A = this chain, B = another copy of it.
């Protein structure tokens, strides 16, 4: 009698699986190469008729994996049976290649063998193994499936009739009865038992009830059935192998000769003229020494690594890059780079808190351009520029969002041009630009209706922009232009970051948030109110723009200062956003030599480290100096006197501040202080001290 040959399973991977694996790797697995559960499914084997020859062509015995394969509540599509599996993803191609595949395979086969010995659950008889290496930067996936099947020794043989039509032998009524009973089940059976009843009908039952179901059934009325993924008339599908091993192991006395039904009629034939597809065959095995297995029985050897398209034992590669939308590729690539931070270095990093922060950049010059780039690097998705200028010929070499072409024909508006440039860099960004002049103290609004209504419109525009954003960057080129957004930002409780440049020095600071007397930080201590850009001033901001020489009009700086200050400001924001107190994060004292642990204990550290109040950098000595300055209760920018006057009176109050350089000094009492002389100034409680390095 000929030996039974089995049609091997082949993997069918829907591309969605790779996308899911990418997410799993980036967000969950990270650097872990631990095994994770995965599910797939197979259905009854299908064949197609060749249009030329009229011959039936068998399709491969596919195990399909796809988008739901990592779901814990995976269920197979209708008519298919689910297959449990194990995924093992390696971190490097070298590890993938060097992996001990025999050991991995055997441990999967052991799971199946344990199932036979212990739970006897036939849904676990067809497990699969998938080992992978995901090159996430190139969207290339190296993978290799294995479908462990036990080797029967001696081999099964098939009786003379071979595989033949079940319809011819059992009749349409019996097959119909099986079909009806199967479809009444909530899930498909991979395997089932059929019993020809004395009445002439048929019954079915799970394989797990073998002993009871066949207790009083003659062996000629016993038919063992399985959902056969193979449509090859000569070769039953791979799942039969482990079933045979199962039966031989558990019921050796009654299973050396078996009638096997290859069930393929998930759908009954649509008309009486079309034959049923299922086949029957009688298999025998030479019964050597039939012993019931026990928990110590050795596992039979197993085979089942899938061959690659070249017909060799080796991995396959899925290259998804060519089929992906480039914009989506870019978005994923950018995300990936950020998420990698959490793999090894900072699992606690809350990237979404940074990327969801809407940032308003006041000034689209050297600082504005560099700040935008660093924000984009952090994955920030909403960046809005405000500037009143146009791109001039000296800009592109220092302002990294402009190029020569932007300077022609008088120059593009800087804010809009910078926003367009961000989109060219990363199409997924939400970037906009607004050409807007920010009214300033010391620059009186001409007393005519149109000038005043223009100033009012400008103020309202700025108010609504600040309202719509979470963080406001002050990146302008004059002191007084920062006053209005300082006031509005403080009143609205926004994060305000300030960067200002000298020739070879810079100041980067975060404005202190408004504090209520009751509020406390995560460390249980009361919030401290830190100062703003104006807290050190003893006069109100005034016109510093008129009458400037060329070197004062241009920001004359060492070219490296702006990228350093801009990146520092963005990193300060990132650290602040990671601190539990966010905008109220306490500033580390300037002279601290405290250890990382001590700072953490004091509640000074975010996941990213300390959150200083001010940083002054000096390129002449290549040094950076952290400073702390308390808020000043007569400050023209952030004191309650000013904020409450603004909140009470709105635009008329601001108009007074623009027009009358004495107004703010009178309002805050700075004028009296000034009159009282220098001695009074020395009483101000400054904590701004130089670090001693």
Contact = CB atoms under 8 A, between A and B. Distances in A.
A398 B337 contact: yes
Interface residues of A, number: 93
A562 to B, nearest CB: 8
Interface in A96-142: 136-138
A206 to B, nearest CB: 45
Contacts of A337: 394, 397-398, 554, 556
A424 B403 contact: yes
Contacts of A548: 92
A644 to B, nearest CB: 34
Copies of this chain: 2
Contact of A91 (B424, B425, B550): B550
A550 B397 contact: no
Contacts of A404: 326-327, 330, 424-427
Interface stretch (A7-15, A143-151, A621-629): A621-629
B374 A556 contact: no
Interface in A403-418: 403-405, 407-408
Interface string A368-407: 0010011011110000000000001110111010111101
Contact of A340 (B551, B563, B612, B622): B551
Nearest to A401: B400
Given A334-B393, A337-B398, A622-B572, A563 B374 contact: yes
B619 A609 contact: yes
Contacts of A571: 558-560, 619, 622
Interface stretch (A179-187, A341-349, A441-449): A341-349
A400 B424 contact: no
A345 B503 contact: yes
B554 A137 contact: yes
Contact of A373 (B340, B400, B425, B692): B400
Interface in A57-94: 91-92, 94
A329 interface: yes
Contacts of A398: 337, 376-377
Nearest to A373: B400
A647 interface: no
A20 B405 CA distance: 27
A378 B95 CA distance: 46
A453 to B, nearest CB: 28
B137 A392 contact: yes
